[in-house]
Amino acid sequence: MKALLCHAFGDPPDLAVREVAEPAPGPGEVLIQVEAVGLGFFDALLLAGRYQERPPLPFIPGREHAGRVVAVGEGGDPALLGTRVAALAFGGALAERAVAKADHCLVVPPDMEPAAAGGLLSAYATSLYALEVLGRVRAGETVLVLGAAGAVGSAAIDVAKALGARVAAAASTPEKRDRCRRRGADMVIDYTAPDWRAALRDALGGGIDVVLDTVGGAVTEPAFRSLNPGGRHLVVGFASGEIPRLPLNLPLLKRASVVGVDWAGFLLSDPAGNGALLDRLGAMLADGRLTPDAPSVHGLVEMAPLLRRFLDRGGVGKPVVVPVWR
Ligand SMILES: NC(=O)c1ccc[n+]([C@@H]2O[C@H](COP(=O)([O-])OP(=O)(O)OC[C@H]3O[C@@H](n4cnc5c(N)ncnc54)[C@H](OP(=O)(O)O)[C@@H]3O)[C@@H](O)[C@H]2O)c1
């Protein structure tokens, strides 16, 4: 089969289509005919050689994808055969076929476009895990999303609204804030403005209950200081490139928590808990409580600029690659 191989890390990485051996699904695994691959900040860091782990070269990039199950490993559920799933391929998704663990697969609604399915799993599962499981968001609470026009941020607006929260969305440009409004945010905030915390308080007429933080750096502390007593600050990522420090008197004074969100760690360590999460996510997609945005769809030749866009703060929403192999 054909696959995209990364031969060298870099900006841009050295990527080339090559013929490779087809993987075989082992026990508890499925083989997926890949239709679309979602790109995320993780892929950009990994391929630039800036992630904490580096796979041995050459390797097939891409993790999150969607496609049809074409084979089931030993002991697997034959009912999965022929279904379209969104899944994670730890051995590389930018290939004609990829192997994923059956219990990491989300069966997607039959009418969902392949590209839409390819870009939803990581952002939506992370947001639901963060806001519902760890953040215990209740209807009527106020959620502040940092980096709200990004892939995870956009999904977080959708999930927070589905949980009945009021959503404040923070983003850096008027275009990104417009996008957040269209995505359903109740109010938007320019968190590059000098006193954005006061502007947020004035606009809300009070504090916030939950922060979903994909950005880190300088915006984390003012966001934490905006929490109401008992608030929860969900640490999802550090897209700013800077890991912030927080004075520990703040959580004490506010009786507030800082909660680490690592959905990939959760799915590997608690397959049953993740299975239940994916079932809830599937039900919310099927009955229309969640309405993912249409992703931007790209070809393999656009990989380098797409990866650069994450690192340049240029991305909005979720980019998806629909590979054509020749
Ligand atoms: N914990 C988990 O389970 C999990 C799962 C998925 C992703 N993540 C992490 O979550 C973070 C966001 O991922 P994503 O896919 O949503 O990325 P994304 O689409 O690129 O969004 C990130 C947002 O961060 C903001 N940002 C602020 N400073 C930035 C900078 N210097 N460079 C780039 N962006 C900057 C940008 O919005 P503004 O321009 O509006 O500020 C951007 O829209 C990443 O760190 C990723 O690794 C974590």
What is the mean pLDDT of each successive set of 10 residues along the chain, which is 326 residues long? Answer: 98 96 96 97 96 95 98 92 96 97 93 95 98 98 98 97 98 97 97 96 94 98 98 97 97 97 96 96 96 95 95 91 93
Nearest-atom number in ligand 1 for the CA of 191 is 41
The structure tokens 């009945």 sit at 164
**Under 8 Å between Cβ of 93 and 62:** yes
C-alpha distances in Å from residue 54, one per residue of 23, 48, 185, 312: 21, 10, 37, 21
Q: What is the structure's pLDDT at 75?
A: 87
**Under 8 Å between Cβ of 69 and 137:** no
Q: What is the structure's pLDDT at 80?
A: 94
Nearest-atom number in ligand 1 for the CA of 241 is 31
196: enclosing H helix or E strand? helix 196-204
Nearest-atom number in ligand 1 for the CA of 309 is 20
CB neighbour list of residue 59: distance below 8 Å, 6 or more residues apart: 5, 6, 92
- Ligand 1, from 179, 214, 311, 316: best to mutate by most atoms within 8 Å of Cβ? 214
Nearest-atom number in ligand 1 for the CA of 176 is 40
What residue type is assigned to position 257 of the chain?
S
What residue type is assigned to position 213 of the chain?
D
Q: Which two tokens stand for residue 259?
A: 């909660």
CA of 212 to the centre of ligand 1 (A): 11
Q: What is the structure's pLDDT at 238?
A: 96
115: enclosing H helix or E strand? helix 114-118
- Ligand 1, from 313, 316, 318: best to mutate by most atoms within 8 Å of Cβ? 313
Q: Which two tokens stand for residue 154?
A: 């956009």
| CA proximity to 244, closest of 258, 254, 262 | 258
Query: What are the φ and ψ backbone dihedral angles of 4, each rounded to 5 degrees?
Result: -90, 130
The whole-angstrom separation of Cα 231 and Cα 224 is 9
Buried residues in 187-219 as b, exposed as e (16+ CB within 10 A): bbbebeeeebbeebeeebeebbbbbbbbbbeeb
Q: What 3-state class would DSSP assign to 93?
A: coil
Q: What is the structure's pLDDT at 55?
A: 96
Q: What is the structure's pLDDT at 326?
A: 79
Nearest-atom number in ligand 1 for the CA of 238 is 45
C-alpha distances in Å from residue 296, one per residue of 113, 204, 251, 254: 12, 32, 39, 41
CA of 73 to the centre of ligand 1 (A): 35
Pocket of ligand 1 (CB under 6 A): 40-42, 122, 126, 147, 149-153, 171-172, 176, 214-215, 236-241, 261-264, 310, 313, 315
- The residue whose CA has the least distance to atom 19 of ligand 1 is 150
- Ligand 1, from 64, 152, 191: best to mutate by most atoms within 8 Å of Cβ? 152
> Counting runs of H as helices and runs of E as strands, what totals does the chain give?
11, 15
CA of 31 to the centre of ligand 1 (A): 30
**Under 8 Å between Cβ of 150 and 119:** no
What residue type is assigned to position 222 of the chain?
P
CA of 105 to the centre of ligand 1 (A): 24
Q: Phi-psi bin for 62: left (phi > 0), alpha (psi -120 to 50), beta?
A: left
Q: Phi-psi bin for 147: left (phi > 0), alpha (psi -120 to 50), beta?
A: left
- The residue whose CA has the least distance to atom 37 of ligand 1 is 147
| CA proximity to 88, closest of 266, 310, 325, 236 | 266
Nearest-atom number in ligand 1 for the CA of 260 is 1
DSSP codes joined into one string, 165-229: -EEEEEESSHHHHHHHHHHT-SEEEETTSTTHHHHHHHHHTS-EEEEEES--GGGHHHHHHTEEE
